[in-house]
Structure 1
Amino acid sequence: MAKGYAALIKEATLLLDKFNADKQCVEEFTEDASKAMENLDALDRKFILDIISGCIEQKKLLDVVINVFYAQNGKCLLKADRNQLAIICYFSMFLIDDIGLLCFSKIVNSLDITKMHKFLSFFFNITNLSTWIQGEWSQIYDAAYVERNWIIPLLRWRPEIEILMAQLASRMSRGSQFKKATKKNTEPQEFSLTKPKARPLPAPEPIPLQEKHQPVPTSTYSAPKEKQVMEEVKQRNRQKAEQVLYEANTQQFKCANPQKSERTKSVMSQIVRSHDAQLKFDSLHTSGTPATHKPNNLPIRLNTTAILREGALYNRQVEEELRRMEQLVEGAGEPSSFLQWQKEMRERDLQEELAQVERRRLEGRISYEEAALARTRIMERNQKTALLKKEETAKLMQRYANKRLQEEKEMRDLVQQVADGHKNSKAAKVKLQEFKQRIVKEVSEQSRELLRQALEEAQAELSRKFEIIRQIRTIESVPLIRHKFVDETETAGHDLLGEMSLAELRERLAMLRDAEQREHQDRRGRILEDKKSREQLLLEQLDTIALHRTALGQAAARRQEERRARQELQQGVAEDERVVALQRRLEERQQERQRLKQREKNKAKISEQSATHALNSWNHRMQTMEEQHWANLERSLERQVQQEAPNTLSRRKYSRPRHQLIS
């Protein structure tokens, strides 16, 4: 080592003094310490870091010894020496077998001899080791484990440690004799009146290093997750909108799509899926071997339940395949030829079934066209029926109007009779007013009686409260003995079974807390072991899942090729003779329906033209008749005026313009 053991132990002691278990983690502290000791040798740095990590991990065991040692010898020790003694105790318990007695002796001799002698004589005392130290350690770890790993090795090293303590004692005695021998009396010296030397400049004080800034813990502040969740939702919505827009731009309109309908496609795909489901067991009899390479990661993220379930499924499939191979080795037959024949027969059945589905589709279209023709005929018949219904409705409305007029007339008569009867209501109002006044008088008398009773009850309640206040003030005026002496070791004296004093109760509670803490630590250890085993099992299951998924991907590629072959088979279905005949029949029905629609349009156009012509002729005829009527009327008036008027003046009076006569 580049440095001595004393310097290394001192460096480790200073680092342990800086460690705070409540605020720092062991890994972070060791990393920071390693960065701070970059100028040291690699072996020295590793030596110090091993000592620090070991003392922190085994702090409970070391504190048991150090606390009692300070309780007995604390007056002659400093608190700064605590971690140094803890390091020596850690060497004695864990590293003395690895480094050897010679190296351990060098470490002890490099430190304060007096303190090391006291501590080693205290720690390696057979009475202390086999009694209370073993008992305290057994409360932390299992008793058998403590005795096997620490007590027996320490007792085995005890003779060599006694030799080391004897050497330390001899050095201590020689040191004390040397101090006594070299002691001299003080001799006075004459004053030196020479010119004193110039006072040297003081050495600059080292600049104190600023402690490393501790990062802000995550418990103090953490960014809200809502913003991140909203960003993810926006991104997903944008991707979905772009996908919908792309589909809308690429797909053609359904109204102009001459292909098969969605119902036909769904029926055909359902038939294909059913046949695929029946052929799924063929994958168990394939001769190919699954891929052996391990993928980097799974395509999706699985939780623990999904991993275990999928791993169990793949294990069961592997067991079935191994069982099939064993049966083949024992002499069982391979059903590959039968499966090939079965596959061919199913493909032929599938072709026939697809042809039948196509025929049914065409028959359905034909029936739809025939139904459209029938609906056209029914609409014509319904129009005639509607005209008859309109005439009947007009007659019913006329009868209903007459009935409503009769009812309104009867209602007016009834209102007149009621108005006549209201003239005698003035006397009834006077009688009602007198009755109300009598009721108000009776109610006021009853309310006065109730108020009197309430006043008496309030006075009685007030006097009762005054009496209670007087008693309370009397009790407060009596002096109280406020001093009470309690002996924590005495019981309350209730003569109950299991009655305890306060001190005994505290002791029992402390023991109960210790037992609960030990149980909690044991349970935590078991949980950690279970967690490690579960993680290992999940890793194995993930490897199995990745392997099987690779094999399933290859099988899916083969099924895709088979699906392409079936699509070619479906194209052959479209060339069937019966399908072609049905297609031709469907086209004939569609042409017939188009002819009917065209005929209906022509008929409507002709009827509209005839109605327009009839209306024009009727208007012309009415205009001619009106002109003849006014001309006849004018001529008759002129004749009448000529017969009755005696002179020309009267003739002028009645000879007005034609437009005035018309008005």
Structure 2
Amino acid sequence: MGLADAQNESARFALLLKTSTALLETFNPRTTTSDAYFQDAEFLQNPLLGEVELNFVHQVFYGCHRYSKLLKLFVTSFIYKEPTTALRSEQPLYNILAYLLFFRLEEVGIENLRQFVNCGYGSPPALSGLLQYAMDKEELEKWVMEEWLKHYDPCFLEEEIMGRLHRKEHHLRPLLNEMELKATGMLKSGGEAGPPGTVKSKRPLTDFQPFNLTAVKPRLIAEPDHHIEKDLIANPVPGFLNKTNLAKIADERKRQMEENKAKVAMKYSAADEFTFETAQRRDHASVLEELRAKAEEKFMEECTFQPQAAKRIVPRDDAMVRQTVASVLKEDARLRQAMAKDAELLKQYEAELHDASHFYEWQEKMKKKDDMDEEARMKERLIQTQLTRESAKEAHDASNRLKGIQAEHQKRGIQAQLDVRDKEQEAELEEKQKLVEHTCEEREKARIAEQEVLSLKQETAEQRRKEKELEMSKKKKEEELEMDRKRDLIRQIRALERVPRESAKVFDRAEAPGHGLLEEMSMAELKERLKVMHAHHQRALFEKRERQLAKKAEKEELLTEKVQLLAKVREQARDHMIENRDHMRCLMAQYVLGFGGWRSELRVRTRPNLPLRNLGGCSLQPAVH
């Protein structure tokens, strides 16, 4: 491949990256969809973009949009970790390269990925750092894995993303070394060499030297006003330290412990000891056998298929059920709801004089009609769909033929533009070579200017050093004068503190403070007002207690009335149940003896939803709140 072909191929890959980056930067998902925006984008009408290039751009744009959360977290962490090399303006480019690495590496291939990285669209240090960061599993788990796990499955991340990428590490290592050598001029790790034709740099490393700054003189510490005595006089060794040793001390402690034990034993007798229930427990083995025998006996009783007869429940007429306030209120609410429902049914029947059977018949008829209409509409829609499919197929074939003709025309135009661009690049290359020669000539002038500036800075530094020495001498004299003034002021203050003062003052409880504030009063008047306020507060509490007691008595009276009413309703229901039971027994007896007509009577006596009537002069109509 010649130089011109290599330049054309590099420009082609740079154009693909540039177009994909422009799509990502200008796309707004809040206003349109990805497919609609791709069809309407104006910069995709470039004649240099053929059908293959547009297909690649479309797939990259859709993939970056689909995995936007994963790519955004990865690129953001990379920019935060490498702020010196990564550029925020190239963030869409990093998204595209990360998408190709994580999801499309097998389809794109290592050679095409090398073309994308070396096409010149993007700074080499940033691209080298991006590749190194993507291949470093420890860094990914430290910076971005925790955030990925909030949105994606761990198996997907381990196997599909990181696992598939690291399986290609031995294929990607030459590309990583090549980018590192291109970005820094050397390889940090002395591993595999770069691609053929690359040589390690021979330039020496930069030797950093500190600046030639003026050393700061140490600050003088002021001498203390009073001299501190440093003579220490040790006390003589106590005489009792040589009279004993550790063995004697241990024997003395043991003797005192024995004496204490003897004193405690004499203080308590055997009758004072506690008697625990655990000492009186039965034999565990015998108790366990007894319980096992009872369990087996009970199990065998269930297997005899002769269950015991159930105990007869004898009803008690004098059973008293104690009701609470909540149960009374619930029963009263249910009673009023039932009465309201019965009244509503009677009112509806009086107003309409018919039930809802006609409506239900009409509703069923309309549902059948709707089902038939829906079935006819589906058949018609199926026929229209088949016709539309045939017409769409014909339109698709015509569109493909038209696109083939347009593609052939575009290829001819692109070839002409490529020829013109080659000529422009050759002219630009000649201009750049001339500029390089001119720049090399200007470098010598820069070194002469640097020497002149350095000598000027040295003269300026010497002059400033002399000025600072004069200022330090003046400042030292001023500090000495200030210290003398402070010492004199301290002496005056100590002399004033030694003068005795009279601070006794007589307090009168009946005298007002006299500060000029509103509502001022003396201590005696304040106590009298407190007594009056306390009496007023006690009277208000007594009145409130009386109101609460009256309200409670009223509530109890209302609750008593409700209990009496519910008792009457319950008694009426009981009498009605007994009456129905007796009547049913009579009807069954008549049926056995051969009498007919019992079915109609039974239907009349057991008719549900009978309206409630007045009970003993008490109105049972629903309350209106």
Give the TM bin, normalised by the shorter chain. under 0.3
Highest CA radius of gyration, 1 or 2? 1
Give the number of the structure with larger relative contact order, counting CA–CA contacts within 8 Å between residues 6 or more apart.
Answer: 1
Structure with the larger helix share: 1
